Amino acid sequence: MRLNRFTHGDSGFAAPKFVAVATLIASAVTTFPVAAADTNESEDLNQQSQALVRDVMALKKEALALDRDLYLLDHQIRFPERTRVTFFLRLEDRRFNAQSISLLIDNVPVITRNVSVDESALLRNGGSLRVSMANTAPGERQLQIAVNGQTLNRSSEPTEAAVVSAEATLNKGDAPLTVEMALDRKRRWIFQRYWVVNTKTWEER
């Protein structure tokens, strides 16, 4: 078969231009649509997808409620309400880079933990860090806290090691107690107690 005897011009050719132009114009409106699969099947798939989205949302809500109940039960067992104390730490001194925290109640160590780089950054940005939860019997307790870290210069580079510590008296009642230990800019400690108020209002709302 010889193919080199073609004349010029495009008469008699089934040019694929209509395919090209059709897709060309379509592309101006959206991305290129591919040939749709069977419409009914596509509709079924769409309905199936929507039903699944609804199921997943319902499951997420249930999982959330279950997670909350598990969290509450776990805390109720490990830290009963009557003895529970939660400690938060907040640093107003942005030049202090916390590295580890020690907490003692009546000279008994409650926790000694390192402060991760992320947690330290969080504290320097004014965040509040949950240090620990502990059990302590109601009554007057002596609290001792020590935070080891570094003092930072203006370029946020560490200049010297620093330890800030404090002692305070803690009056623990029968209700769970939250204590926020804040270190102000002059590195003075401020102890703020929080308590639960008006639980019923929340349940009713």
Partner 1 sequence: MTRFNQWFPQILLLVSLSLSAATPLIAQTIEAINTENPYVAEAWERVNEQQYFDALSLISVNQQRGPRTPVDAEDTGAASDNDRLEWLAAKSELGFGLPDRASATLEALGERTPTTKLRGSALMQLAQLQFQRGMYEASESTLDKLEDRLPRYKKISRVELKARSALVQGRYEDVVETLGEIGQSQLDNYMRYNLALSYIKTGQEKRGISLMGRVGQMPIRDLQSHGLRDRANLSLGYYLLKSKNGGTARPILERIRVDGPFSNQALLGLGWAQLTPEGKIIPEIADDLLEDEDPLNQLNAIGIMVRPRRTEDLFGRLGLRPLRAKESERIAQLRVNKALVAWAELIDRRPVDPSVTESWLAIPYALQKVGAHEQALDFYLTGIEKLEQRREELAKAREQLATGRMLNTLATKEPDSEAGWNWQINELPDASETYLLSDLIATNSYQEGVKNFRDLRMLRRRLDRWRLEMDALVAQKQSRVTKGLNIEFLIGETRQSFQNPYRDLDLELALDETLSGRRGAIEEDIIIERYPKQLKLAAVPKNFGGELKALRKIQPRLETQSARLALAERAQAQLLQKLGDNEIAAQDEVLKGYLIEARFAAARLFETGVDR
Residues in 164-183 at the binding interface with partner 1, rule: CB under 8 A = 176, 178, 180
- Separation CA 79–CA 151 (nearest Å): 35
**Which of 42, 159 has the CB closer to partner 1?**
42
**Which of 73, 163 has the CB closer to partner 1?**
73
Residues between 16 and 45 that touch partner 1 (CB under 8 A): 16-17, 19-21, 23-25, 27-32, 34-37, 41-42, 45
DSSP character string of 70-99: HHHHHHHHHS-TTTEEEEEEEE--TTEEEE
Q: Say whether residue 47 binds partner 1 (CB under 8 A).
A: no
Measured from the CB of residue 100, what is the shortest distance to partner 1 in angstroms?
A: 20
> What character string, x for contact with partner 1 (CB under 8 A) and - otherwise, covers 70-109?
xxxxx-xx----------x-x-------------------
- Separation CA 18–CA 11 (nearest Å): 16
- Separation CA 129–CA 26 (nearest Å): 55
- Separation CA 120–CA 131 (nearest Å): 12
